[in-house]
């Protein structure tokens, strides 16, 4: 079955450490996205990529970095510069380079806890 795989489901890190969240899709989608979800704040866009080797900052990119070397993969690194990294992180993809009519397909998320 086609879909998006995020791993791991739960991740624990000490403050000051960088951590990388994995996102892989086998839907052959062009566009991929990272959102952060916090209670009562909905989803906020961190980074997105509409084609391989290109990506754009979203609304809250500070303290995060991404790469898009392969169509299937869009890893997110949470750096030590991110002030409040504890959150639920969602990866998504869509076809047609993210055209407005193309819905997003989401992974099941990674819950990151930094202490």
Partner 1 sequence: GDSVTQMEGPVTLSEEAFLTINCTYTATGYPSLFWYVQYPGEGLQLLLKATKADDKGSNKGFEATYRKETTSFHLEKGSVQVSDSAVYFCALSEGNTPLVFGKGTRLSVIA
Q: Cα separations (Å) of 3 from 79, 80, 91, 105?
A: 27, 30, 11, 8
* Contact between 68 and partner 1 per CB under 8 A: no
Contact between 9 and 109 under an 8 Å Cβ cutoff? The reply is yes
The interface region with partner 1, picked from 13-21, 33-41, 66-74, 75-83 by CB under 8 A, is 33-41
User: Residues 34-53 vs partner 1: string with x where CB under 8 A?
Assistant: -x----xxxx-x--x-x---
Binding footprint of partner 1, residue count (CB under 8 A) = 26
* Contact between 16 and partner 1 per CB under 8 A: no
Contact between 107 and 93 under an 8 Å Cβ cutoff? The reply is no
Give the nearer residue to partner 1 in terms of CB position, either 75 or 109: 109
Distance CA 25, CA 13 (A): 25
Minimum distance of partner 1 from residue 31's CB (angstroms)? 8
Considering only CA atoms, which of 85, 90, 81 is closest in space to residue 36?
A: 90
> Which one of residues 1, 16, 101, 115 is an interface residue with partner 1 (CB under 8 A)?
101
Residues that bind partner 1 (CB under 8 A): 4, 6, 33, 35, 40-43, 45, 48, 50, 58, 90, 92, 97-101, 103-109
């Amino acid at each position: 079955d086609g879909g998006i795989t995020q791993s791991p489901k739960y991740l624990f890190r000490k403050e000051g450490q960088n951590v990388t969240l994995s996102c892989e899709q086998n839907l052959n989608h062009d566009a991929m996205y990272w959102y952060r979800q916090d209670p009562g704040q909905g989803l906020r866009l961190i980074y997105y990529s509409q084609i391989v080797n290109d990506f754009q900052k979203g609304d809250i990119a500070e303290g995060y970095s991404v790469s898009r070397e392969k169509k299937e993969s869009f890893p997110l690194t949470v750096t030590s510069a991110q002030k409040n990294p504890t959150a639920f992180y969602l990866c998504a993809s869509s076809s047609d380079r993210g055209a407005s009519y193309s819905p997003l397909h989401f992974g099941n998320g990674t819950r990151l806890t930094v202490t």
